[in-house]
Amino acid sequence: MYLRKRYGESRIDGCPFCGKPSTSKNSQGVPVCIAHKKLLLDGLRCVCGSFLDVMAGKWGAYCRCPKCGNVNFKRALEMNPNLLKPQVPKPQKSSEKKKEVVIRSDELHLYY
């Protein structure tokens, strides 16, 4: 028994917005989860700086750069990590409490 590889279908990792299994598609043909069905991928930029067009192809979504041609969809997402995951300011580490060092005068005396 062996598993037959189904090219083009097993490559989809999930919703590009949240990573959940993509059970739906948005109007661009991008596989997304139901919660993000109405979201569009806008403003993806290529490495060359041009804006990418999101296209729906036979094997799923891909991107198209006016200068570079077709760009792998997954790669386009990797090039635009900030677009999909809004930057959340990192919480400052305030949990580390400063250890109070109390030096008593009689201990201080020992250092002399």
Q: Are 76 and 46 in contact (CB under 8 A)?
A: yes
Residue 82 sits at φ, ψ, to 5 deg, of -75, -25
Minimum CB–partner distance for residue 9 and Zn ion (Å):
19
**Binding string to Zn ion for residues 25 to 64, with x set by CB under 5 A, is what?**
--------x--x---------x-x-x--------------
Binding to Zn ion in span 86-105, by CB under 5 A: none
17 touches Zn ion (CB under 5 A): yes
- Three-state SS for 75-96 is HHHHHCHHHHCCCCCCCCCCCC
Size of the site for Zn ion (CB under 5 A): 11
Q: Does 6 bind Zn ion (CB under 5 A)?
A: no
Q: How far apart are CA 108 and CA 35, in angstroms?
A: 64
**Separation of alpha carbons 60 and 33, rounded Å:** 14
Which spans of this chain sit near Zn ion (rule: CB under 5 A)?
Answer: 15, 17-18, 33, 36, 46, 48, 50, 65, 67-68
